[in-house]
């Protein structure tokens, strides 16, 4: 058995991104699909008599070649098994440091068959790119693994195919920190990747999960979804619209990404149910409301309050607040409907994404889960909770 066991941050495949401001550059990483490809290649090489290696080179979909260290490699009945430690670089990826395993068994018949091992999920709902019952190994990783194994088979004179079982140590636990359970992917994580590279803070996996949630809702005939920013807003959406888990899309900070996808894949009714602070940022024109991308603009909040009836003294007080929630409380004390005004501006922003066949509603909630503002296309929207 080969046991180099590298530190996740020290893998040969990780790369440095360019820094835009002269500070230390952020490291790019490699996807679970790239990691699984390297593990499968190492296992197949050993199984076909090509010898044991300590690393494998993977050709990424856009042609770049990266080298990944094998954390383990051994013969098993019928084939061989290898592991790679997933390195997401400087991205806060739930799978960073996970051990991705591939067991490869050569077969006499051509083609590559994929199996979900421990820690890799299985699709149970329609609407995803994979059919129900399939292992949650997405199309690009499947193609990468297939291409590399078929190339190796030609090199080593193997005329048949392979059975590839992918597993992830602790994958079922890791999956609880992802959208997989809500999407109906049960038993573990998904093996993902389109370019093979993880770019720091691109949040591509999170945005992909938003797209998948919308796809699942459409495929199952739901007339409405609620795009929510967190647990509190989800609770409000459940109660307000009577939605089950399939109708709740956890968009987090990514208002723009959710609305862009809904323009391409529309639903009859969409509600944006959001914490007041995040909704305030979106109303001000920020499609991504994370603190790294946008900050609260108290001048904007003060101007919005003034448009809702706040006097000059209240506007000055708002500009001196520490948070938008503090500004909201000041307006509530004065009887100024800041929440409704912010919701109305957020609705205008949402409409700018051009969803002509979708009825939109916006709901602002505070930290206690109280509705503090609404705006919408529907005439029967519930009254604002004081």
> Which band of pLDDT confidence, cut at 50, 70 and 90, is reported for residue 1?
very low
Quote the pLDDT of residue 5: 30
Output the pLDDT for position 381.
Answer: 42
- pLDDT, residue 22, reads 40
Average the pLDDT over 246-268 and give the result. Answer: 95
pLDDT at 386 over 60: no
For residue 88, pLDDT over 50 is answered with yes
- Quote the pLDDT of residue 203: 78
Domain ranges for the chain, please list them: 8-15+27-198, 204-376
Mean pLDDT of 127-153: 96
Comparing 201-210, 340-349, 377-386, the range with the smallest average pLDDT is 377-386
Question: What is the pLDDT, as a whole number, of residue 308?
Answer: 96
The pLDDT of residue 90 is: 78
Q: What is the mean pLDDT of residues 95-111?
A: 97
Is domain 8-15+27-198 classified as CATH 3.30.2110.10?
yes
CA-to-CA distance for 313 and 294, rounded, in angstroms?
A: 27
Across all residues in the chain, what is the average pLDDT? 89
Residue 291 has a pLDDT of 65
Whole-number pLDDT of residue 4: 32
Check residue 328 and give its pLDDT: 96
Share of residues in the chain with pLDDT > 70 (%) = 89
Pick the range with the lowest mean pLDDT from 122-131, 204-213, 258-267. 204-213
φ, ψ dihedrals at 344, nearest 5°? -65, -40
Please list, residue by residue across 263-296, b when 16 or more beta carbons sit within 10 angstroms of its beta carbon and e when fewer do. Answer: eeeebebbbbbbbbbbbbbbbbebbbbeeeebeb
56 has pLDDT over 50:
yes
Q: With 0-12 CB in 10 A as exposed, 13-18 as middle and 19+ as buried, what is 51? A: exposed
**Pairing relationship of beta strands 79-85 and 119-120 according to DSSP bridges:** unpaired
* Predicted model pTM: 0.75
Asked if the model's pLDDT at residue 2 lies above 80, the reply is no
pLDDT at 170: 97
Torsion of CA 262, 265, 267, 272, to 10 degrees: -10
Determine which of 142-151, 160-169, 255-264, 288-297 has the lowest per-residue pLDDT on average: 288-297
Whether the pLDDT of residue 24 is over 70: the answer is: no
State the average pLDDT over residues 4-9.
Answer: 33
**Residue 197, H or E segment:** strand 197-198
Residue 82 has pLDDT above 80, yes or no: yes
Tell me the mean pLDDT in the region 361-374: 96
pLDDT (0 to 100) of residue 202: 66
384 pLDDT above the threshold of 80: no
Task: Judge whether residue 14 has pLDDT over 90.
Answer: no
User: Residue 45: pLDDT above 90?
Assistant: yes
Q: What is the mean pLDDT of residues 134-150?
A: 97
């Amino acid at each position: 058995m080969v046991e180099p066991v590298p530190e996740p941050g020290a893998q040969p495949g990780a790369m440095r991104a360019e820094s835009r401001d002269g500070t230390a550059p952020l490291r790019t990483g490699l996807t679970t699909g790239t990691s699984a490809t390297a593990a499968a290649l190492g296992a197949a090489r050993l199984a076909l008599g090509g010898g044991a290696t300590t690393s494998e080179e993977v050709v990424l979909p856009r042609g770049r070649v990266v080298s990944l260290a094998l954390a383990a490699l051994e013969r098993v009945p019928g084939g061989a098994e290898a592991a790679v430690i997933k390195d997401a670089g400087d991205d806060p990826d739930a799978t960073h440091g996970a051990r991705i395993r591939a067991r490869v068994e050569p077969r006499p018949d051509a083609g590559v068959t994929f199996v979900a091992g421990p820690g890799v999920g299985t699709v149970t709902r329609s609407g995803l790119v994979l059919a129900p019952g399939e292992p949650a190994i997405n199309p690009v990783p499947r193609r990468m693994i297939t291409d590399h194994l078929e190339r190796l088979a030609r090199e080593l004179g193997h005329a048949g195919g392979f059975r590839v079982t992918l597993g992830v140590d602790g994958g079922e636990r890791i999956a609880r920190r992802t959208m997989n359970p809500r999407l109906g992917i049960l038993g573990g994580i998904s093996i993902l990747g389109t370019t093979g590279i993880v770019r720091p803070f691109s949040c591509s996996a999170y945005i992909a999960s938003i797209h998948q949630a919308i796809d699942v809702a459409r495929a199952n005939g739901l007339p409405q979804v609620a795009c929510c920013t967190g647990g509190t807003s989800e609770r409000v959406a459940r109660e307000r619209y009577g939605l089950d888990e399939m109708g709740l899309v956890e968009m987090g900070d990514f208002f723009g990404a959710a609305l862009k996808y809904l323009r391409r894949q529309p639903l009859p009714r969409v509600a944006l149910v959001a914490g007041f602070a995040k909704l305030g940022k979106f109303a001000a024109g920020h499609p991504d409301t994370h603190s790294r991308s946008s900050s609260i603009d108290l001048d904007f909040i003060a101007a919005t309050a003034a448009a809702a009836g706040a006097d000059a003294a209240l506007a000055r007080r708002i500009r001196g607040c520490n948070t938008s929630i503090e500004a909201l409380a000041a307006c509530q004390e004065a009887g100024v409907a800041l929440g409704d005004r912010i919701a109305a501006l957020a609705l205008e922003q949402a409409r700018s994404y051009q969803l002509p066949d979708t009825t939109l509603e916006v709901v602002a909630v505070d930290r206690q889960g109280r509705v503090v503002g609404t705006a919408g296309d529907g005439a029967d929207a519930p009254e604002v909770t004081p």
